[in-house]
Amino acid sequence: NKGAVQRLDAAHHLHPFTDSRALRQKGARVIERGEGVYLWDAAGRRILDGMAGLWCVNLGYGRQELIEAAHAQLQQLPYYNLFFQTTHPPAATLAATLAGLLPGELQQLFFTGSGSECNDTVVRMVRHFWAQQGRPERRVIISRHNAYHGSTLAGASLGGMAPMHAQGGLPLPDMVHIDQPYHFGEGQGTDPDEFGLARARQLEQKILELGPERVAAFIGEPVQGAGGVIIPPASYWPEIQRICRKYDILLVVDEVICGFGRTGHWFASEYYGLQPDLLCMAKGITSGYIPLGAVAVGARVAEGLIDGGEFFHGFTWSGHPVACAVAQACIEVMKQEHIVERVHDDIGPYLQRRWASLGDHPLVGETRGLGLLAALELVADKTTLARFPEAAGAGLVCREHCFEQGLVMRAVGDTMIISPPLVISREQVDELVDKARRALDLTLHTLSN
């Protein structure tokens, strides 16, 4: 029962990204079951999961195809490693399937257990590549402030989350950051495309400041997810790509959130016209049913990995057969049900239209979105777009009112974000937006008392 689970949890369980004392005083919300786009808590309340878990349960909960794929693979071969010059059907098949979906030259796959491990793998691959080219001094990786690339030492260092850096002396050496293309937060009053260009050109300034001979790669999320669904102005990515090419800097795209249909494309790199040298994926690859990540590697870097002798890197769970089988089933369901096309042509535009209707609310300073990603900015003054004081905790107030309404919506500061399962119906989008509006009304009421 709920109380017993909460007591065990409070006594022994340290939660990720959580203030444990505050949680223990309150008692964790106990989630017991999921079906489609809904979760049920221990009190039997139905909650619309506007975040698809953590941006991952793209096919919704309870998909028998995925469950059966896991079950069949567990019976056939629950585990075998890929270190001993061995392979197995699920890993080999999935690598080929992914190569068929990926843009351009990304034809080689390295499997990991998570998005964070993908980014650690990227660091090791990139440095190995330049060392093989006789350029070991090319070690610096440039990222953005407020980026999220995971929680391992390299992931958190590449990420630009100041509180993560503050705990434990990060970033690691040779990982530096430029400003993000966050127009609402940092570019108000400027033309979005000029702002996007200016932010992209910080990359060139940083390369020149460091010396191009020291720079190995640039990494970015096509749309920053955990940073607050920050959709860059159209001018941004082409300029980043141009600068990378000009200085022969490897371009790494972190599609851990954006991949697998989230933006209405298999990968957001297609949408932004990017030809990355390396691309990270995780989360939606298995619809979140089981942990798996993969780094896709373009021809130039792959050549070094294939011909350069042993690459001293890998994980016990690299290419775990059960995870690969689930990913394969997930991709097959996505193809059969035309999930990506549906996000692009139908449910994505529908959600964006309905979401934009929240823009008339007195608390909302901006709405934005792409595919089935969306955000809105809470403001204290709709005319000046002034924010609430941090102490008001407006985002958290809104998040709690969403929960009361039976909706999971995430707060990043005062930016409210959604990333619902890609299988959400129009009626469920209406429910999501109606609940969000009621939560905004209640938030206005709470904040003005």
Q: What residues line the site for ligand PLP (CB under 6 A)? A: 54, 114-116, 119, 148-150, 221, 225-226, 254, 256-257, 282
In angstroms, the CA 108 to CA 258 distance is: 20
Which residue number, 225 or 304, has a Cβ lying nearer to ligand PLP? 225
Closest separation in Å from C-beta 280 to ligand PLP: 6
Report the nearest approach of ligand PLP to the CB of residue 123 (Å).
13
Residue closer to ligand PLP (CB basis): 114 or 415: 114
Identity of the residue numbered 280 = C
Min dist. Cβ of residue 371 to ligand PLP (A): 15
- By Cβ distance, which residue is nearest to ligand PLP? 115
Distance in Å, CB of 118 to ligand PLP, minimum: 7
* CA-based nearest residue to 94, from 257, 281, 326: 326
Q: By C-alpha distance, which of 353, 378, 370, 350 is closest to 441?
A: 378
Nearest residue to 47 (alpha-carbon basis) of 366, 399, 446, 447 = 399
Identity of the residue, 49 or 254, whose beta carbon is nearer to ligand PLP in the bound complex: 254
> Residue type at 317?
W
Of the two residues 265 and 361, which places its CB atom closer to ligand PLP in the complex?
265
H-assigned helices in 221-320: 236-246, 268-272, 299-307
Q: Are 231 and 266 in contact (CB under 8 A)?
A: no
Q: How far is CA 268 from CA 117, 259, 419, in A?
A: 20, 6, 15
Residue 363 class from Cβ within 10 Å (0-12 exposed, 13-18 middle, 19+ buried)? buried
Q: How far is the CB of 362 from ligand PLP (least distance, A)?
A: 31
Instruction: Say how many C-beta atoms besides its own lie within 10 A of residue 406's C-beta.
Output: 16
Helix (H) or strand (E) holding 101: helix 89-101
- What's the min distance (Å) between Cβ of 150 and ligand PLP? 3
d(CA 243, CA 265): 25
Taking a C-beta distance cutoff of 8 angstroms, is the pair 163, 154 a contact?
Answer: no
- In terms of CB distance, is 256 or 297 closer to ligand PLP? 256
SS3 category, 43: coil
Which CB, 252 or 364, lies closer to ligand PLP?
252
By the 8 A CB rule, do 426 and 65 touch?
no
Do residues 432 and 379 lie in contact, with contact meaning Cβ atoms separated by under 8 Å? no
Min. distance of Cβ 434 from ligand PLP in angstroms? Answer: 28
The candidate with the shortest Cα–Cα distance to 184, out of 350, 343, 17, 359, is 359
Structure tokens at 107: 């034809």
Q: For ligand PLP, give the closer residue by CB, 258 or 424.
A: 258
Least distance (Å) between residue 82 CB and ligand PLP = 20
Is the CB of 129 or the CB of 148 nearer to ligand PLP? 148
Of 249 and 285, which CB lies nearer to ligand PLP in the complex structure? Answer: 285
CB of 421 to ligand PLP, least distance (A): 16
